[in-house]
Structure formats: C-alpha cells, structure tokens
Amino acid sequence: MNEDNEIYFLNQQESEEEQQLDFAPKTFDEYLGQPKLKEKLDIYTTAAKQRNEPLDHLLLFGPPGLGKTTLAQIMANVMGVGIKICSGPMLERTGDLVAILSGLQPKDILFIDEIHRMPANIEEVLYAAMEQFRVDVIIGQGAGAQTVNLPINQFTLIGATTKSGMLSGPLRSRFGITERLDFYEDEELADIILQSAQFLNIDIDKKSAILIGSCARGTPRIAKKILRRIRDFAQVNNKNVADLKLVKESLRFLGIDDDGLGIVDNLILSKIISNFNGGPVGLDTLASLIGEDADTIETVYEPFLLRKGLLEKTPRGRQIAYQALPHLKSKYQGQKTLLK
C-alpha cells in the first residue's frame, strides 16, 4: 500500500469513527427533513429495484452538512447493493479510479464527495465509465503504448458537490438525475436533535431542541455537533437531563449568543458597524480586519447571516441589513467600538 492510499484509508477511518457518534438513518423514514427530495429518491430507487436495473447516475448539490452522504447510503441500503465512498481530491491518478470501478459489483453505488474538485484526467475516465460501462487503460509507454478497453459492471455514480457551478458541462450532462438539498428549518433540526438524543442517551425537551436548532445554521451536522458538546457539559455537571437552563449555559460556553450567532459572526457584524457605520465594505477589507480568509467568510459565515436577515450583499460590498441595524448597534454598544 503506497503512502497516498494510506492517507485515503486513514481519512475513511476517521470519517467512519465520526459517523459512529451519530445516529445513522438506514431508511427514508428514519431520515428526517428534505421531504420532497426524499419522496423523489424513494420513487427512483424503488423503480430501479423493481426493474432490476442500476439507479441512474445522480448529482446531489447543496451546502455541506445537509446529508448528501447519508442519502447515498440509504439508497444503497434500500436497493440492497454495495456502496463505495471516496472524495474527489483524493483521486489523483487514473489508476486509483480504475481500481475502484473494476471492483464494483453489478448495480453497486460509487459515491464521490466534492466531485467538482476532481482532477480533469480523472473526470475524462468517468465519461466512458458512466455511459458505456468501460474504462480505457493504457498499457506500456511511448510509441509502444496501447489502449485497452476494460469492461466494468453497470453501476450508479452519485456525485455530491457544494459548488455545482464548478462542475464541467460534459460531466454534469451525464447525470440523469440532479437534485438540490435545502437548508433545514429550526423545527426540522429540532426533530433531528431529539432523534440523535435518544442515540446519545441524553434527555432533552422540545423547547431545548428548538433552541439548539436555531443555532445550528440550518445544518444537521452542526446541530449534532452542538448536541454532543451539550452532552459533555451535562455529564461534567452531573446532570442527566439537558433542560433549557443547561442548554443556554452550554451555548454561552460554546460562544453562541441569544441570537444564535457565533464568535466570528459577531466579529463580522461588529466590525462592519464600528469601522464602517454599517457598511458597505469590501470582502477583502473585511477579511483583513477580522483575520479570516475571504473565501471562508463567503462560504461559511455569510450564508447564515444573509438568511438571518442581518447582512446584505451589494455591488459596493457587504453591509448590515437596514432592519437589523438598530438591534445590532444596541447589541454592540457596550463594546469598544466607534459607533456613530
């Protein structure tokens, strides 16, 4: 096993260990949220199983942490087929992909996360594999090199991406099904938290679950991480129940305020108010002020602040939303700012 493969399997092991800390749905009924998408995928998988055919190639796109990998695992379970999971950036050589494709059994699922980050040479190998279920293998070097067509079993490729616009046209056109995952509502996240709490053996009421859900940025993965930290807090304080009081204390301990904002969220908003009287301000300037990468601000923090109605994007830069300005000015008034 070479060093790259060792790194790949280590990452896979770490991912599996993290998943063991969460409740893993096995059926569409156990998977909470995304009702319309879930209904569609249930129909697609059931129809393919009835025809005894592989599911058509599927592209799932949307922000990270919404359950794309979990849905792929559920589809494999429903269809009674195997699934292999890998990440686009990890597929550096065509031989890696050929080895994976050659090992797939009929109707198996190959799930490639962050498929938009896959190298171009790997993507070209996928074209024939997806359409004709074969791969072209080059044997030899130089003038004596020969191309051999290697047949593979019919399979389903499920690609997951957080940036669908970065997918090439030829690759996107080869997916028969394209579906988007939306952010979750607080109530949906509360149901996921209550479900996970049973798995973690911690008692929590609906009000506390909704409070956690409101701080989870519309993302189940974040909701589960917060719940695990609250469990730690409850355990250390010798409490078996995560009531509303304990949850509020835990959130403050984690740096999450009453508005559901984290430390960086508040830093972004306070800097726009204190240094630019509410904005607008350019993204690069803002990144320099708070010491954070501009891409991280744009992809991790901005979507939540935009959905909360606290931030706006304009041609001149970022600015505090007009309706949120009085509240935020009052909120940050006690801090050392340059508020006008």
Convert the pLDDT of each residue in 196-222 to its tens digit: 998 888 899 999 999 999 999 999 999
Interatomic CA distance for residues 334 and 214, integer angstroms: 25
Confidence band of 5 (pLDDT split at 50, 70, 90):
very low
pLDDT at 55: 92
Q: What are the tens digits of pLDDT across the range 111-165?
A: 999 999 888 888 888 888 898 898 877 665 666 566 677 889 999 999 999 888 8
Average pLDDT over residues 234-259: 87
Confidence band of 335 (pLDDT split at 50, 70, 90):
low
Weakest mean pLDDT among 43-52, 56-65, 118-127: 118-127
Residue 232: CB atoms within 10 Å: 12
Nearest to 202 by CA among 167, 239, 251: 239
Average pLDDT over residues 180-187: 92
Question: Domains in the chain, ordered, with CATH?
Answer: 3-180 (3.40.50.300), 186-253 (1.10.8.60), 263-332 (1.10.10.10)
pLDDT at 28: 92
pLDDT at 21: 57
For the chain, count helices (H), then strands (E): 15, 11
- Per DSSP, 160 falls in state E
Tokens read off for 290: 């708070």
Query: What is the value of pTM for the model shown?
Result: 0.82
Cis ω on the peptide bond leading into residue 280 (within 30° of 0)? Answer: yes
Confidence band of 337 (pLDDT split at 50, 70, 90):
very low
- On the question of pLDDT at 89 being above 60, the answer is yes
Interatomic CA distance for residues 30 and 199, integer angstroms: 13
User: Which residues are bridge partners to 146 per DSSP?
Assistant: 139
- On the question of pLDDT at 47 being above 80, the answer is yes
CB-based burial label for 159 (10 Å; 0-12, 13-18, 19+): buried
Average pLDDT over residues 47-69: 92
Query: Measured in whole angstroms, how far is the alpha carbon of residue 160 from the centre of its chain?
Result: 9
Q: Is there a contact between 150 and 102 (Cβ–Cβ < 8 Å)?
A: yes
Phi, psi of 283 (to 5 degrees): -60, -45
3-class state of residue 81 by DSSP: coil
Q: Sign of the CA dihedral 118, 120, 125, 127?
A: positive
Any idea which residues carry the catalytic annotation?
A: 68-69, 113, 162, 221
Q: Is there a contact between 36 and 179 (Cβ–Cβ < 8 Å)?
A: no
More confident residue, 8 or 45: 45
- Percentage of the chain surpassing pLDDT 90? 52
More confident residue, 177 or 22: 177
Weakest mean pLDDT among 29-33, 66-70, 277-281: 277-281
